Amino acid sequence: MTKPRLRYDPTNDFYTVLGVQPSAVPTEINRAYRQRAKEVHPDLNRDRSSWAHDQFQRVRDAYDTLTDPTLRTEYDERRRAYLQPSPGLGTSRTSSYTEASRAAWKRRQRRQPPYIFLIPLVLTILSCWMLKFSQPDSNPPVVQPANPVSTLSSPLDSTAFPVAVSSSPCANPDVSIDQPTDGATVRVPFRIKGRASGKDFASYSIQIASASPRRNGTGLRWYTLISEVSQPVEDGMLLAQADSLLLTNWHGDYTLRLVVQSNDGNSLLPCNILIHLNPLLDDYLVLPSAR
C-alpha cells in the first residue's frame, strides 16, 4: 500500500499544536506531547468528548510526525515552502505553486462536512458494541484471578486466560512494576505504577509486546509506551499512563516491560509482567486527574 503523501496544513501546524518552536529538540517535543495529551485526553474531558477525541488525535499526529526524523524533515520542507517562498529566479514558479496549494486546501475544506472527523469515533463505538453483544451466553465473564501468578508450565495460550505466568521475574528491587499485577486483566487506559531508581539511575522506558510467539521465529516485537524518562520513581508511584490510541482495540495476552538505564549506558535487569488486555471489560481502572 502506498504511503499517504505528507501535507502541510496551516490551520493545523504541528509545532503550534504541541506548543513548541520549530527548532525544538526531541526531549522538548516529548515533554510538550505529554503535557498537551494530558490537557485534551477524552477521559479528562468527558463533558466535551467529541472535541477531546479530535484534539487528542491532532496532538498524536503532530507527535508521530515530529519524532520521526524522516517525516519531520519532509514536514519542515513543506512548511518552509508554504511560509517562505524562495526568492530570486524561481520566485514566480514557487509562488504559483504555493497559491495553488492554498487554493486546493481551501477546496478540500469546503467539500468536507464539519462532522467528517466524528466518523472514525462512531465506527469504533459501533464495533465495540456489536462485539460485546455478539458473545455467546455460555461464555463466562472475564474476571481477574485472586492469585495472578500461574503454575502453568506449558507455553501461554490465550484461551487459558485469566491464568497467566510472567516470562521474567522482577528480581531487581530498583526495577519493579506493582500495578497492574502480573497476570491482571486491564483495559486501556490504565495506570502503571512501581519503582525505577537506583544508585546509578539515568532513565527508564516502558515497552509492550504480544506474549504469543511469532511464527517467523524473530522473537517479540516491542512497542514503546514511554521512553527515556530521566526522573526516578520511588515505590508505588506513577510510572506512566497507558492511554495510547494504538492500544484501544488490542485484545489478548501481552508482556509489559520496565527497563532502567544506568549512567554508564548499560541496562539493568528488566522487569517483565504479563497482562491481559480486554476492550470489553466494564470495570476497569480510571485515569487520575493529573499525571
pLDDT tens for each residue of 58-109: 999 999 999 999 999 999 999 998 887 655 544 444 555 566 667 777 776 6
E strands, 33-141, where? Answer: none
Helix (H) or strand (E) holding 111: helix 91-111
Tell me which of 251 and 25 has the higher pLDDT. Answer: 25
Task: Mark residue 255 as left, alpha or beta (left: phi above 0; alpha: psi -120 to 50; beta: remaining).
Answer: beta
Q: For residue 211, what pLDDT is reported?
A: 76
> What's the gap between Cα 212 and its chain centre?
20
Q: What is the radius of gyration, based on Cα positions, of the chain?
A: 23
pTM: 0.39
Amino acid (one-letter) located at 164: A
* Lowest pLDDT segment from 46-60, 62-76, 165-179: 165-179
> What's the gap between Cα 19 and its chain centre?
19
Share of the chain above pLDDT 90, in %: 25
